[in-house]
């Protein structure tokens, strides 16, 4: 039935069917696909188990859950796995139409990714390219768990937005991210204009601000820990941080630290602890392990990873527990990978 419904898609995608999760995963391994649609209730492996594996093994595959199971907990868990869309099985013509529009949009978005050829360029290069060529687009930038968007209409910067900033403030914040992924989305010509300066003026302002920040970091390092690397300095001086240990790669001797004496032992403990609890994400079907927090009478600790880099951060005891997750997210975004 749903095969017929999906056959109504105007882009006429090639549709393959699998009658269980294991078969679907085997098919995904054997050839490239754009989109996976799956139910939650399935034979052999349930949908959460399948999606947990698929999201890890095929991170660029668009994923949709289509289910009759209406439960807020399962919806939350599905989105926690990074699934693009959770959709209750449509019950009317109108719902079928909306469902197909969403699928079309997901397929279109996948098809419109246009940055593969310019991945070596910086975000500044990319903005200049868009503005000089009088293009119209929305740049969607992701940096770890952060995302931001920049609206460009006919070569003019119109607006920018991040989780907690709008307009020029958001633009500067996005440009401060040292790494990330870019995606171009179709233009939105109705976007309200919040950025009034020219792109040249804003890029110049941003370059000056980053230069000042670099010199601030450099003088702080000189006064506190002359051996501190430029990578670690912004983390070490972050408000509320007592110490930082950063372990990179699989080499147990490769770590950097600030503010702690037994850093080698803490680096080893960090690696072991993250590795120890990571497999429980699948066993509990609870979404990825985002962070480990620990408390003692002196301070709070937070352990997290970004790519193959693992972090243990000691926070002052006065730092509120509920602020640890957002603080760690901000801190990790300062790390230049």
> What's the closest the beta carbon of residue 156 comes to another protein, in angstroms?
36
Q: Could you tell me if 168 and 176 are in contact, meaning their C-beta atoms sit under 8 angstroms apart?
A: no
53: alpha, beta or left? (left if phi > 0; alpha if psi -120 to 50) = alpha
The tokens describing 335, both together, are: 């790390």
Taking the CA atoms of 225, 332, 122 and 189 in sequence, report the sign of the dihedral they define. Answer: negative
> What's the closest the beta carbon of residue 11 comes to another protein, in angstroms?
9
Could you tell me which residues come within 8 angstroms of residue 97 by beta carbon, excluding any fewer than 6 positions away? none
Burial class from Cβ neighbours inside 10 Å (0-12, 13-18, 19+) for residue 321 reads exposed
Cα(19)–Cα(250) distance, integer angstroms: 39
> What's the closest the beta carbon of residue 74 comes to another protein, in angstroms?
7
| Pick 237 or 329: Cβ nearer another protein | 329
The sheet carrying 156-161 orders its strands as 156-161, 146-153, 137-143, 181-185
| Pick 49 or 248: Cβ nearer another protein | 49
| Pick 107 or 169: Cβ nearer another protein | 107
| Pick 35 or 185: Cβ nearer another protein | 35
Residue pointed to by tokens 């509990």: 284
Cα(124)–Cα(129) distance, integer angstroms: 9
> What's the closest the beta carbon of residue 220 comes to another protein, in angstroms?
26
| Pick 82 or 180: Cβ nearer another protein | 82
> What's the closest the beta carbon of residue 71 comes to another protein, in angstroms?
9
> What's the closest the beta carbon of residue 191 comes to another protein, in angstroms?
27
> What's the closest the beta carbon of residue 88 comes to another protein, in angstroms?
13
Q: Could you tell me if 51 and 74 are in contact, meaning their C-beta atoms sit under 8 angstroms apart?
A: no
| Pick 24 or 158: Cβ nearer another protein | 24
| Pick 21 or 234: Cβ nearer another protein | 21
Q: Which DSSP state fits 262?
A: -
């Amino acid at each position: 039935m749903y095969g017929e419904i999906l056959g109504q898609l105007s882009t006429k995608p090639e549709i393959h069917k699998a009658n269980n999760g294991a078969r679907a995963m085997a098919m995904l391994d054997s050839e490239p696909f754009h989109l996976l649609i799956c139910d939650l209730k399935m034979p052999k492996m349930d949908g959460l188990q399948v999606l947990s594996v698929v999201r890890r093994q095929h991170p660029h595959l668009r994923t949709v859950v289509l289910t009759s199971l209406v439960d807020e907990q399962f919806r939350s868990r599905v989105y926690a796995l990074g699934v693009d869309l959770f959709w209750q099985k449509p019950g009317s013509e109108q719902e079928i139409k909306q469902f197909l529009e969403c699928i079309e949009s997901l397929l279109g978005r996948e098809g419109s990714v246009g940055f593969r050829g310019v991945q070596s360029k910086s975000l500044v290069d990319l903005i200049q390219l868009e503005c000089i060529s009088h293009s119209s687009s929305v740049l969607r930038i992701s940096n770890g768990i952060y995302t931001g968007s920049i609206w460009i209409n006919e070569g003019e910067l119109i607006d920018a937005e991040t989780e907690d900033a709008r307009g020029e403030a958001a633009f500067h914040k996005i440009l401060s991210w040292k790494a990330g992924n870019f995606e171009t989305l179709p233009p939105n010509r109705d976007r309200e204009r919040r950025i009034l300066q020219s792109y040249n003026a804003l890029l110049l302002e941003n370059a000056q601000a980053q230069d000042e920040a670099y010199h601030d970091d450099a003088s702080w390092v000189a006064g506190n820990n002359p051996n501190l690397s430029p990578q670690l300095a912004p983390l070490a001086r972050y408000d509320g941080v007592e110490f930082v240990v950063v372990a990179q790669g699989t080499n147990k001797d490769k770590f950097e630290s600030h503010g702690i004496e037994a850093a080698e032992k803490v680096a080893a403990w960090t690696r072991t602890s993250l590795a120890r609890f990571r497999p429980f994400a699948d066993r509990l079907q609870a979404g990825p392990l985002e962070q480990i927090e620990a408390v003692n009478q002196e301070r709070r600790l937070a352990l997290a990873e970004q790519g193959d880099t693992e972090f243990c951060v000691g926070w002052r005891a006065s730092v509120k527990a509920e602020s640890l997750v957002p603080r760690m997210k901000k801190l990790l975004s300062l790390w230049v990978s």
